[in-house]
Amino acid sequence: MYKINSNFVKRVLIYGAGLMSLAFGVAFSVNSGLGVSPVNSLPYVISLITGLDMGSCVTAVFSIYILVQILILRREFRLVNLTQLLFSGLFGYFVDMAKWVVGDFSIPTYFGKLLMLAVSILFVSAGVCLYMNAKLVYMPMEGLTHAIAEKLFKNKPFHDVKVRMDCLVVFLGIVLSFVFLGSVEGIREGTVICAVLVGKVMKPMQKVLVPLINRICF
């Protein structure tokens, strides 16, 4: 009889909690009406340009993120990291569940939209902290960010590099939107605010959550 490692089970539960928190962040972001999330900004614009469905564009962009990880890490890239796409699909189900729970809830007035965006940023920041520090499999965007932080910005902590990567992805989305669509589509002030603030909010969260996760799981 195989004995289940209790620490591994705890890591899986924390990983799942992180993805669910991230999913609720997406749901609140959508209902705020202030633009798509940074990680979805590039696939969204490519979807509008090509006419392909959003799911196919997300898969394509995430596949490119994994390919760039391979180029950066080379022999250090582990085959298990290819399951990032699989877990991205699982995350899609979590987002559907979160959107069902949140429903059409929204707060009227522009201040209300900003408040919902703030809640979204807290959920996303906490979610990334939880699932990454469970040390299982990263999502493609965070996997790429981690690879860049490890190899190209060795003196920069992950949350600082994440701000740069989120801003870069949003910038690419804006450029492509202007060039091919003639205007900025889907990317609004909420997208930019999230790109700038999620990594910064992660910094104090990491100080609280990392020691807690390490004490529970390792």
pLDDT tens digit string along 181-212? 999 998 999 999 999 999 999 999 999 999 99
Ramachandran sector of residue 78 (left: φ over 0; alpha: ψ -120 to 50; beta: rest): beta
| Predicted confidence (pLDDT) per residue in 60-92, tens digit | 999 999 999 999 999 899 888 889 988 888 888
Count the neighbouring beta carbons within 10 Å of the beta carbon of residue 187. Answer: 22
Per cent of the chain over pLDDT 90 is 67
Residue partners of 57: CB distance under 8 A and separation at least 6: 43, 44, 46, 47, 50
Helix (H) or strand (E) holding 141: helix 140-151
Burial group, residue 152, by CB count within 10 angstroms (0-12, 13-18, 19+): exposed
Q: At what angle do helices 158-181 and 189-217 cross, to 10 degrees?
A: 150
Please name the residues in contact with 67: beta carbons below 8 A apart, sequence gap of 6 or more: none
DSSP 107-130: -SSHHHHHHHHHHHHHHHHHHHHH
Q: What is the pLDDT of residue 1?
A: 45
pLDDT tens across 40-59, in order?
Answer: 899 999 989 999 887 788 88
CA 50 to CA 139: how far, in whole Å? 24
Rounded distance between C-alpha atoms, residue 212 and residue 145, angstroms: 23
- As a whole number of angstroms, the distance between CA 120 and CA 95 comes to 13
pTM for this structure? Answer: 0.89
DSSP state of 152: T
| pLDDT at residue 4 in the model | 62
